[in-house]
Structure 1
Amino acid sequence: MRAHTQAGELMHAAQQQRRCAFATDQSTYAAMTRRTAAGEYVSPYQGLYANRTHWQTLTECERSAYMVRALHCKKPHWVFTGFSALDVQGITHSRSSHDGAVWIADHQRNAHKHNSPRTPLRRIHLPSDVGTRIIDGIPVTAGAVTVAVSIAHLPFMHALPLVDDALRKGAPLWNSSRNAAGSCVCSRRRCAHCCIAAIRRARAGESQSPARRYDCLGSPSRSCRWSSPTCAIPGM
């Protein structure tokens, strides 16, 4: 295969910055496409490339962060959330939660309708005034919102260690969990903030009967869809 100096330089610079590479012109795009077809590069996301040998040394969380950093260069207005934001913030979570998707906040109520199985992009509807922060130059949703969105898609056994690690790293998940977004962050009828409240109580050693439920502020509620800390979050 004939060498393409610019493609190699872009790949080297991307690895130094711990992100995926992307083409800057048609010639570079063609070169990266050829190298991907030849097996030298991998393309984990449309328009993003990484050296196969280097990619295989990365964990699932590191690969996710590589994609996020590259996409931020291309789409600086995107605000990342869910598992993508967890990876940028360095919050530990189950490797099984990764499916190669990139998670972003979207203020449109029908945001999920733009999700496609052909494109690994998950648009999560969040209020326009959702709290954001900048981590290494990348905009992500605030800690409480990031964790809430993530655990709404996990069973309790995987949600618990995620919340524990977030708390150890100083993420404010209790008093500010509701205020961070202005309202509950619900995903497909599951109240993620209620999950945080129940997990916090479970970690504190409180006993709950399966019938007892909590609202977002930790008080008993009949409306919460997530009840006992021993049960899994309802299915999708």
Structure 2
Amino acid sequence: MRRNPEIERIADDAEQHQRYFFGKTANQKRAMRKRWVADEYVRLCPNVYTKNEYYQTLNPQERAMHLIRTLSVKYPEKVFGAMSAALVLELECPWRRDVLERAQIATEQSAPKHTQGMIDNIYVHPLTFIVHNGIRITSPERTLVDCALRYPFTQSLGMFDSALRAGIVGKQDIDETCSNVHRDCSSVRKLLRDADEKSENGGESLCRAVILEAGFVRPELQHEFRDPANPRHTFRTDFLWVCDRKAVVLEYDGMEKYTNQHMTNGQNTRQVVYEERRREDALRRAGVATILRTDYEEVRQPRPLIQKLINNGIPMERTY
């Protein structure tokens, strides 16, 4: 298709600002639509596009944030809520496409309906907003309440953990917000009971959510052990239980532990694995009887993880 410098400038500017683009004039809209029909562009919703090759470089959260930024430019008066607001606040959100692929717009309309494309209206009353990174969103406490009312415990715990960890909201603020929501907020209060700012990342939060939902006793997070052979060296563990006076540790291995240069301090995978073995030796010297490991794939299909905890004597407390 023949080049269109004007449209190319619009697309390039959008990419620089990490958002999609849309046409403002009839000619721009026509030109963008032609390129979508020709399979050069992806259409996210009516009159919102991006280049095919650019879209493929984005992960689910990046795609969601691109859509939010685009809609905030196209509809600057709109207020984002629920998962969209959580993403703007940079909370730990699940990467599932069915959760992230739609933008949530907060409205006081009594019977909100789906709007065009990938946009949902969600009922929020009273509707107030803050501005974060130039985008209108519901307050952090209202955002968390709305997410807890819409998404399962396993998808919501990471958002609560990360909000507390970042210090952008307190548990009391969230609890007080429940009094203004005329709905059963038992799911919110369950999250408040189990949320913990000591959780270091979304993977650990998801793992803990699966453990708690399965009914196991709540583990201690980030317990610090000192190596008897070298008292200056201390190690923190992801999860700790003391069962029959024996310490049982569970470590969550996210792929970033082996691939993220910031987390590995520039070490290669072999070096990281070697350091992990040294760490395990130190934990055993410090009195840890059992060290278990898990990862995202096991947490996602948790039957093996649950059986592993049962086999190693982790006690059950309750079921949700």
TM interval, short-chain normalised: 0.7 to 0.9
- Residue equivalent to 2:108: 107
Counterpart-to-counterpart distance in 1, 2:13 and 2:318? 46
TM-score, normalising length: structure 2 = 0.58
- Residue equivalent to 1:36: 36
- Residue equivalent to 1:68: 68
Q: Is the 8 A contact 2:44 2:118 kept in 1?
A: no
Deviation at 1:137, TM superposition (A): 0.8
Within 5 Å, give how 1:94-173 maps onto structure 2. Answer: 94-96=94-96, 97-98=98-99, 100-111=101-112, 114-115=113-114, 119-128=117-126, 130-173=127-170
Task: Give the letter aligned to residue 21 of structure 2.
Answer: A
1:181-213 CA-to-partner distances (Å, cap 9, x unmatched) read: 760264xxx52xx32322222347xx9xx9xxx
Counterpart-to-counterpart distance in 2, 1:229 and 1:162? 23
- The alignment yields a C-alpha RMSD, in angstroms, of 2.4
Identify unmatched segments of 5+ residues in structure 1: 211-227, 232-236
Q: Which of the pair is proportionally richer in helix?
A: 2
Counterpart-to-counterpart distance in 1, 2:55 and 2:194? 38
Q: Is the 8 A contact 2:22 2:48 kept in 1?
A: yes
Aligned length: 201
Larger radius of gyration: 2
Q: Is the 8 A contact 2:145 2:177 kept in 1?
A: no
Over the matched positions of the two proteins, sequence identity in percent amounts to 23
Evaluate the alpha carbon distance shift between residue 102 and residue 185 of structure 1 in structure 2; reply closer, same or farther with a 3 A threshold. Answer: farther
Q: Is the 8 A contact 2:149 2:188 kept in 1?
A: no
Evaluate the alpha carbon distance shift between residue 12 and residue 125 of structure 1 in structure 2; reply closer, same or farther with a 3 A threshold. Answer: same
Q: Is the 8 A contact 1:81 1:104 kept in 2?
A: yes
TM-score, normalising length: structure 1 = 0.76
Evaluate the alpha carbon distance shift between residue 229 and residue 44 of structure 1 in structure 2; reply closer, same or farther with a 3 A threshold. Answer: farther
**3-state SS of 1:172 partner:** coil
Q: Is the 8 A contact 1:79 1:140 kept in 2?
A: yes
Task: Give the letter aligned to residue 30 of structure 1.
Answer: R
Task: Give the letter aligned to residue 121 of structure 1.
Answer: I
